[in-house]
Protein backbone atom coordinates (compact mmCIF):
# COMPACT_ATOMS: atom_id res chain seq x y z
CA UNK A 1 0.00 0.00 0.00
CA UNK A 2 2.76 2.31 1.00
CA UNK A 3 4.74 1.48 -2.12
CA UNK A 4 1.67 2.20 -4.29
CA UNK A 5 1.20 5.63 -2.63
CA UNK A 6 4.94 6.51 -3.08
CA UNK A 7 4.69 5.72 -6.78
CA UNK A 8 1.67 8.02 -7.10
CA UNK A 9 3.54 10.87 -5.35
CA UNK A 10 6.54 10.45 -7.65
CA UNK A 11 4.31 10.54 -10.71
CA UNK A 12 2.64 13.75 -9.51
CA UNK A 13 5.87 15.53 -8.48
CA UNK A 14 7.95 14.70 -11.55
CA UNK A 15 6.23 17.20 -13.91
CA UNK A 16 6.49 19.93 -11.25
CA UNK A 17 10.20 19.28 -10.76
CA UNK A 18 10.66 19.37 -14.54
CA UNK A 19 8.80 22.69 -14.65
CA UNK A 20 11.03 24.09 -11.90
CA UNK A 21 14.07 22.98 -13.80
CA UNK A 22 12.79 24.75 -16.92
CA UNK A 23 12.11 27.88 -14.94
CA UNK A 24 15.64 27.69 -13.55
CA UNK A 25 17.06 27.38 -17.05
CA UNK A 26 15.09 30.42 -18.13
CA UNK A 27 16.38 32.32 -15.14
CA UNK A 28 19.90 31.34 -16.05
CA UNK A 29 19.28 32.40 -19.60
CA UNK A 30 17.77 35.63 -18.37
CA UNK A 31 20.84 36.21 -16.20
CA UNK A 32 23.07 35.62 -19.19
CA UNK A 33 20.99 38.00 -21.17
CA UNK A 34 21.34 40.49 -18.32
CA UNK A 35 25.11 40.09 -18.47
CA UNK A 36 25.03 40.74 -22.20
CA UNK A 37 22.76 43.71 -21.63
CA UNK A 38 25.15 45.07 -19.00
CA UNK A 39 28.06 44.62 -21.32
CA UNK A 40 26.15 46.28 -24.13
CA UNK A 41 25.14 49.14 -21.86
CA UNK A 42 28.72 49.60 -20.72
CA UNK A 43 29.88 49.66 -24.30
CA UNK A 44 27.19 52.16 -25.09
CA UNK A 45 28.26 54.35 -22.21
CA UNK A 46 31.90 54.13 -23.31
CA UNK A 47 30.91 54.93 -26.86
CA UNK A 48 28.97 57.94 -25.62
CA UNK A 49 32.07 59.55 -24.07
CA UNK A 50 34.26 61.71 -26.36
CA UNK A 51 37.39 59.84 -27.36
CA UNK A 52 40.60 61.23 -25.93
CA UNK A 53 42.67 62.65 -28.71
CA UNK A 54 46.27 61.52 -29.02
CA UNK A 55 48.72 64.36 -28.25
CA UNK A 56 49.79 66.17 -31.35
CA UNK A 57 53.37 65.65 -32.36
CA UNK A 58 55.51 68.68 -31.52
CA UNK A 59 55.77 70.82 -34.58
CA UNK A 60 59.26 70.96 -35.99
CA UNK A 61 60.86 74.34 -35.90
CA UNK A 62 61.54 75.80 -39.26
CA UNK A 63 65.27 76.21 -39.94
CA UNK A 64 66.55 79.62 -38.93
CA UNK A 65 66.73 81.96 -41.86
CA UNK A 66 70.30 82.97 -42.64
CA UNK A 67 71.09 86.57 -41.91
CA UNK A 68 73.08 88.72 -44.35
CA UNK A 69 76.06 88.35 -42.01
CA UNK A 70 75.75 84.55 -42.07
CA UNK A 71 75.87 84.65 -45.85
CA UNK A 72 78.87 86.98 -45.69
CA UNK A 73 80.74 84.53 -43.44
CA UNK A 74 79.98 81.71 -45.86
CA UNK A 75 81.38 83.74 -48.74
CA UNK A 76 84.60 84.37 -46.79
CA UNK A 77 85.12 80.67 -46.13
CA UNK A 78 84.14 79.42 -49.58
CA UNK A 79 87.00 77.74 -51.49
CA UNK A 80 88.72 80.00 -54.03
CA UNK A 81 88.06 79.74 -57.72
CA UNK A 82 90.29 77.10 -59.30
CA UNK A 83 91.61 79.43 -62.02
CA UNK A 84 92.64 82.06 -59.45
CA UNK A 85 94.40 79.44 -57.37
CA UNK A 86 96.22 78.02 -60.41
CA UNK A 87 97.51 81.46 -61.41
CA UNK A 88 98.83 82.09 -57.90
CA UNK A 89 100.56 78.70 -57.77
CA UNK A 90 102.38 79.37 -61.04
CA UNK A 91 104.55 82.11 -59.50
CA UNK A 92 107.89 81.12 -57.97
CA UNK A 93 107.33 83.71 -55.25
CA UNK A 94 103.58 84.13 -54.82
CA UNK A 95 102.29 87.58 -53.94
CA UNK A 96 100.29 88.42 -50.83
CA UNK A 97 96.81 89.47 -51.88
CA UNK A 98 94.30 91.12 -49.54
CA UNK A 99 90.63 91.28 -50.43
CA UNK A 100 88.41 93.69 -48.54
CA UNK A 101 84.66 93.62 -48.18
CA UNK A 102 83.05 96.26 -50.36
CA UNK A 103 86.13 96.81 -52.54
CA UNK A 104 86.42 95.20 -55.94
CA UNK A 105 90.14 95.82 -56.39
CA UNK A 106 92.45 93.70 -54.22
CA UNK A 107 95.66 94.96 -52.64
CA UNK A 108 98.77 93.13 -53.86
CA UNK A 109 102.01 93.05 -51.87
CA UNK A 110 105.20 91.58 -53.35
CA UNK A 111 107.45 89.85 -50.81
CA UNK A 112 111.22 89.69 -51.13
CA UNK A 113 111.19 85.88 -51.03
CA UNK A 114 109.08 82.92 -50.01
CA UNK A 115 110.18 83.67 -46.44
CA UNK A 116 108.42 87.02 -46.66
CA UNK A 117 109.99 90.40 -46.12
CA UNK A 118 108.31 93.53 -47.45
CA UNK A 119 110.11 96.74 -48.36
CA UNK A 120 108.91 100.25 -47.66
CA UNK A 121 106.92 100.53 -50.89
CA UNK A 122 105.04 97.32 -50.10
CA UNK A 123 104.39 98.47 -46.54
CA UNK A 124 102.75 101.57 -47.98
CA UNK A 125 100.43 99.35 -49.99
CA UNK A 126 99.79 97.45 -46.79
CA UNK A 127 98.96 100.71 -45.00
CA UNK A 128 96.18 101.37 -47.49
CA UNK A 129 94.93 97.78 -47.35
CA UNK A 130 94.84 97.83 -43.53
CA UNK A 131 92.80 101.04 -43.54
CA UNK A 132 95.44 103.23 -41.93
CA UNK A 133 95.59 106.95 -42.58
CA UNK A 134 98.25 109.42 -43.64
CA UNK A 135 100.77 109.49 -40.85
CA UNK A 136 99.06 106.50 -39.23
CA UNK A 137 100.72 103.21 -38.37
CA UNK A 138 102.02 100.84 -41.01
CA UNK A 139 101.21 97.15 -40.72
CA UNK A 140 104.05 95.57 -38.78
CA UNK A 141 106.37 93.51 -41.02
CA UNK A 142 106.06 90.46 -38.76
CA UNK A 143 102.26 90.52 -39.00
CA UNK A 144 102.57 90.51 -42.79
CA UNK A 145 105.14 87.69 -42.61
CA UNK A 146 102.83 85.60 -40.41
CA UNK A 147 99.91 86.03 -42.79
CA UNK A 148 102.08 85.35 -45.83
CA UNK A 149 103.43 82.16 -44.25
CA UNK A 150 99.85 81.03 -43.63
CA UNK A 151 98.90 81.54 -47.29
CA UNK A 152 101.84 79.41 -48.39
CA UNK A 153 101.16 76.74 -45.76
CA UNK A 154 97.50 76.37 -46.75
CA UNK A 155 98.17 77.07 -50.44
CA UNK A 156 95.55 79.80 -50.84
CA UNK A 157 95.75 82.63 -53.39
CA UNK A 158 94.40 85.49 -51.26
CA UNK A 159 93.33 86.63 -47.81
CA UNK A 160 90.05 88.15 -46.68
CA UNK A 161 91.13 91.07 -44.50
CA UNK A 162 88.27 91.74 -42.09
CA UNK A 163 90.00 94.37 -39.96
CA UNK A 164 93.45 95.92 -39.93
CA UNK A 165 94.36 99.25 -38.37
CA UNK A 166 91.64 100.82 -36.24
CA UNK A 167 91.24 104.12 -34.48
CA UNK A 168 90.14 102.72 -31.17
CA UNK A 169 91.72 102.10 -27.76
CA UNK A 170 95.39 102.86 -27.35
CA UNK A 171 95.94 99.47 -25.71
CA UNK A 172 94.60 97.64 -28.77
CA UNK A 173 97.25 96.23 -31.06
CA UNK A 174 94.98 97.09 -33.97
CA UNK A 175 95.68 100.74 -33.21
CA UNK A 176 99.43 100.20 -33.71
CA UNK A 177 99.43 98.11 -36.88
CA UNK A 178 100.31 94.98 -34.91
CA UNK A 179 97.13 92.96 -35.54
CA UNK A 180 94.76 91.75 -38.22
CA UNK A 181 91.45 89.87 -38.33
CA UNK A 182 91.47 87.55 -41.32
CA UNK A 183 89.88 84.56 -43.05
CA UNK A 184 91.56 82.21 -45.52
CA UNK A 185 89.19 80.94 -48.24
CA UNK A 186 88.37 77.26 -47.88
CA UNK A 187 90.19 76.95 -44.53
CA UNK A 188 88.53 76.36 -41.17
CA UNK A 189 89.22 79.10 -38.63
CA UNK A 190 90.51 76.62 -36.05
CA UNK A 191 93.02 75.22 -38.55
CA UNK A 192 94.33 78.71 -39.23
CA UNK A 193 94.45 79.55 -35.52
CA UNK A 194 96.44 76.37 -34.80
CA UNK A 195 99.01 77.37 -37.43
CA UNK A 196 99.42 80.84 -35.94
CA UNK A 197 99.64 79.54 -32.37
CA UNK A 198 102.65 77.41 -33.26
CA UNK A 199 104.70 80.43 -34.38
CA UNK A 200 105.40 81.84 -30.92
CA UNK A 201 105.22 85.41 -29.59
CA UNK A 202 101.74 85.85 -31.02
CA UNK A 203 98.25 86.67 -29.89
CA UNK A 204 95.66 84.41 -31.50
CA UNK A 205 91.93 84.71 -30.96
CA UNK A 206 89.10 82.78 -32.56
CA UNK A 207 85.66 84.34 -33.00
CA UNK A 208 83.21 81.50 -33.71
CA UNK A 209 80.16 83.71 -34.12
CA UNK A 210 81.87 86.54 -35.96
CA UNK A 211 83.68 84.07 -38.18
CA UNK A 212 87.32 85.15 -38.31
CA UNK A 213 90.74 84.73 -36.66
CA UNK A 214 92.67 87.49 -34.92
CA UNK A 215 96.47 87.36 -35.13
CA UNK A 216 98.97 89.79 -33.65
CA UNK A 217 102.59 89.91 -32.59
CA UNK A 218 103.46 90.44 -28.91
CA UNK A 219 106.06 89.85 -26.21
CA UNK A 220 104.27 86.83 -24.67
CA UNK A 221 101.86 84.57 -26.50
CA UNK A 222 98.24 84.70 -25.43
CA UNK A 223 95.36 82.68 -26.87
CA UNK A 224 91.63 83.21 -26.44
CA UNK A 225 88.11 82.55 -27.69
CA UNK A 226 85.56 85.35 -28.00
CA UNK A 227 81.99 84.03 -28.10
CA UNK A 228 80.34 87.41 -28.69
CA UNK A 229 78.31 88.14 -31.80
CA UNK A 230 79.13 90.98 -34.20
CA UNK A 231 78.43 94.34 -32.60
CA UNK A 232 78.28 92.96 -29.06
CA UNK A 233 80.63 93.56 -26.17
CA UNK A 234 83.51 91.10 -26.25
CA UNK A 235 83.34 87.91 -24.18
CA UNK A 236 86.96 86.87 -24.13
CA UNK A 237 88.05 83.65 -22.44
CA UNK A 238 91.72 82.70 -22.25
CA UNK A 239 92.59 79.22 -23.51
CA UNK A 240 95.73 77.09 -23.85
CA UNK A 241 97.82 79.05 -21.32
CA UNK A 242 100.40 76.27 -20.93
CA UNK A 243 100.67 75.91 -24.71
CA UNK A 244 101.35 79.64 -25.01
CA UNK A 245 104.41 79.34 -22.77
CA UNK A 246 105.62 76.25 -24.61
CA UNK A 247 105.43 77.77 -28.10
CA UNK A 248 107.41 80.82 -26.94
CA UNK A 249 110.12 78.56 -25.54
CA UNK A 250 110.14 76.58 -28.78
CA UNK A 251 110.43 79.80 -30.81
CA UNK A 252 113.45 80.86 -28.77
CA UNK A 253 114.99 77.42 -29.31
CA UNK A 254 114.55 77.89 -33.09
CA UNK A 255 116.41 81.17 -32.86
CA UNK A 256 113.38 83.44 -33.28
CA UNK A 257 113.68 86.96 -31.97
CA UNK A 258 111.56 88.07 -29.07
CA UNK A 259 109.13 90.89 -29.63
CA UNK A 260 109.29 94.20 -27.77
CA UNK A 261 106.14 96.30 -27.54
CA UNK A 262 106.42 99.79 -29.04
CA UNK A 263 106.72 102.53 -26.34
CA UNK A 264 103.27 104.00 -27.03
CA UNK A 265 101.61 100.61 -26.81
CA UNK A 266 103.50 99.68 -23.64
CA UNK A 267 102.47 102.97 -22.04
CA UNK A 268 98.82 102.29 -22.91
CA UNK A 269 99.08 98.72 -21.59
CA UNK A 270 100.56 99.95 -18.29
CA UNK A 271 97.77 102.54 -17.93
CA UNK A 272 95.13 99.88 -18.58
CA UNK A 273 96.70 97.56 -16.01
CA UNK A 274 96.73 100.38 -13.43
CA UNK A 275 93.03 101.10 -14.08
CA UNK A 276 92.14 97.46 -13.61
CA UNK A 277 94.07 97.26 -10.36
CA UNK A 278 92.30 100.35 -9.02
CA UNK A 279 88.92 98.95 -10.02
CA UNK A 280 89.73 95.64 -8.33
CA UNK A 281 90.85 97.43 -5.13
CA UNK A 282 87.64 99.48 -5.15
CA UNK A 283 85.50 96.34 -5.49
CA UNK A 284 87.40 94.61 -2.68
CA UNK A 285 86.95 97.64 -0.39
CA UNK A 286 83.23 97.80 -1.16
CA UNK A 287 82.91 94.09 -0.41
CA UNK A 288 84.60 94.53 2.98
CA UNK A 289 82.29 97.44 3.90
CA UNK A 290 79.21 95.42 2.90
CA UNK A 291 80.35 92.42 4.94
CA UNK A 292 81.08 94.57 8.00
CA UNK A 293 77.72 96.33 7.80
CA UNK A 294 75.88 93.01 7.48
CA UNK A 295 77.72 91.56 10.46
CA UNK A 296 76.91 94.61 12.62
CA UNK A 297 73.24 94.41 11.65
CA UNK A 298 73.00 90.78 12.69
CA UNK A 299 74.82 91.36 15.99
CA UNK A 300 77.84 89.27 15.02
CA UNK A 301 81.14 90.24 16.67
HSE-up of 91 (CA within 13 Å, CB side)? 16
pLDDT for position 47: 52
Mean pLDDT of the chain: 83
What is the pLDDT averaged over residues 263-271?
A: 91
Instruction: Read off the pLDDT band of 291 (50, 70, 90).
Output: confident
pLDDT for residue 57 is more than 80: no
Position 301 pLDDT exceeds 60: no
pLDDT band of residue 36 (cuts 50, 70, 90) is: very low
Mapping DSSP onto H, E and C, the string for 92-128 reads CCCCEEEECCCCCCCEEECCCECCECCCHHHHHHHHH
pLDDT band for position 30 (cuts 50, 70, 90) = very low
pLDDT band at 87 (very low <50, low <70, confident <90, very high): confident
| Least confident segment among 41-50, 60-69, 212-221 | 41-50
Give the span between the Cα atoms of 187 and 199, in whole angstroms.
18
All structural domains of the chain with their residue ranges: 68-261, 262-294
Between residues 168 and 213, the one the model is more confident about: 213
pTM (two decimals): 0.74
Amino acid sequence: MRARMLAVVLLVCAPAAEGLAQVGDVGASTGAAGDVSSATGGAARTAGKPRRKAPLARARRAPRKKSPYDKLKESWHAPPDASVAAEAHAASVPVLVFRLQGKSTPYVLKPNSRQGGFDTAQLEVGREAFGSWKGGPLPHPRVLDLIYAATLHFDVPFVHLISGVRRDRGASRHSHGLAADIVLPGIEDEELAAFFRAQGFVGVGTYPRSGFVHVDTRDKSYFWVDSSSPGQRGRVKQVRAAEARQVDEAALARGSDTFVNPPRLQKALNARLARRRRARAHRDAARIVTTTTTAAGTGEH
